[in-house]
A and B are shown apart, each in its own frame.
Chain A
Amino acid sequence: MTNSKEIKKRIKSITNTKKITKAMEMVAAAKMRRSIDAVLKTRTYANLAWETLINIATSLKKQGSLNHPLIEKRDKTNKELIVLISSNRGLCGGFNSAIINKAIKSIKLHSKNSEFILIGKRGESVGRRYGYNIVAQYEKPDTNPKVADIQAIAKEIIDDYVAKKYDKIFLAYTDFASTAKQVPRIRQILPVDIEAEDKYLGATGKSEKIKIDKEYIKEKEGKHLLEGQLFKYEPDENEVLNSILPRLIEVQLFQGLLESNASEHSARMAAMHQATSAANDLVDELTLYYNKARQAAITSEIAEISAGAAILNS
């Protein structure tokens, strides 16, 4: 009898756990949908900012005067910084370990002399387990992040870069490919690499390319515009470049954050879904045991009674 009672207790506790995982799954699904929406909304800005940058850079290059400190490559890489976006909470499957492993691997490819800025609590293990120096740690805004949330980080890394504290800065984030697939990625954000056409952040695949009708401009402005310098810039190219570059870095960080959020929520959703179905299986199995135990108890009771009756009859 005690046996069947214990099984019943376990069934009850697993059923309760199942309710929790089911609820978490649903919450994660709702958050994921919102995060995906947010990602799509930032794409326009990111694409346009990137295209503008390319336009200005090409124009300046032709004049031979492209030497902005945020674009220029440095000859030697002494120290690197990685901005790692992880989650604040666990229970999201392999989400955190995937991005951390990817970041650690990329360091091994580059240099050992790297430091981290963490967005999200779970990235801490890069310091604890792997012994890398963590310069700063920020809480990740989980729901409805605003650009203002990452502005401080963007400013910090730009300042550090300009002050030559680091020679390269990377962003480690998880790209949201689909609800079933999230890909950890490392992306260089400083120096801004204008040659690398970015497929994932910034100019995304299907972006409308800026087309300029050269004939049209010649006809219209003729002498004023030199070959290759198709835009008029106000106040001038460098001024525009100066204000667009920090924005671009902000928007890249922001997009990385949104992609990571979408990935985290969908990873959590998948993990919780698995947990729920595992709980279901367990409950089924335990119910079977419970019934068997109950049956056994009844059978032995009947056997005892009939044995007792047999003794009385004889």
Chain B
Amino acid sequence: MSQKTVKFEIATPEKVVFKKEIKQVTVPTTSGEITVLPNHIPLISTLKPGVIEIKDENEEDEIISMAGGFIEVLREKIVILADTAERAQELDEERIKEAKTKAEEKKQEISDKDEVRFANISAQLDKEMARLKALTKWRNLKR
């Protein structure tokens, strides 16, 4: 009766990024990294920016970078609602590095009084870091 795979979906407000049967998925929740297997108990958790690692039904790995959101584990499916998400193979290293340096520079400039802008830049930086991490992981996998 226990299933070996489970339906999995990553949705962002702009589109559905990923939809497949999977064997396991590892996500960075705010209270730590967890791996979800089929037949997990129903769970809703907030996610922080980071890397999602997926093993699909054919044992193939997939790496996705994500900028925060939620995971919802149901009996028959797992859903991630992400603010933004991109597949690692679609990422462009040069552009990420550029964006990262820019964000770092801006972070330096901002005085500590400007909390809102500081938070925005930090979020941007986290996002770029997640992308970079996803890319590195993807490369290591393919090697």
Contacts and interface: CB of A to CB of B under 8 A. Distances in A.
Nearest to A242: B46
A240 B11 contact: no
Nearest to B19: A44
Interface stretch (B49-57, B69-77, B107-115, B135-143): B69-77
B14 A146 contact: yes
A49 to B, nearest CB: 6
Contacts of A240: 44-46, 70
A234 B30 contact: yes
A235 B41 contact: no
B121 interface: no
B47 to A, nearest CB: 9
B75 A234 contact: no
B42 A244 contact: no
Interface in A213-237: 213, 216-217, 220-221, 225, 230-235
Contact of B30 (A38, A211, A235): A235
Nearest to A239: B46
Contacts of A46: 13
A173 to B, nearest CB: 16
A232 B41 contact: yes
B81 A45 contact: yes
A41 B14 contact: yes
Interface string A1-44: 00000000000000000000000000000000000001001101
Interface residues of B, number: 26
Nearest to A243: B46
A148 to B, nearest CB: 9
B9 interface: yes
Nearest to A216: B75
B79 interface: yes
Contacts of A80: none
Contacts of B29: 234
A234 B11 contact: no
Nearest to B84: A147
B13 A244 contact: no
Interface string A224-262: 010000111111000110011001001100100000000
Contacts of A231: 42-44
Given A146-B14, A216-B75, A254-B13, A247 B42 contact: no
A258 to B, nearest CB: 10
Contacts of B81: 45, 48-49, 52, 247
Nearest to A42: B13
A242 to B, nearest CB: 9
Interface of B: 9, 11-16, 29-31, 39, 41-46, 69-70, 72, 74-76, 79, 81, 83
17 contacts: A38-B14, A42-B15, A52-B72, A52-B81, A147-B83, A211-B74, A213-B75, A220-B39, A231-B43, A231-B44, A233-B43, A234-B30, A234-B43, A235-B46, A239-B46, A240-B46, A243-B70
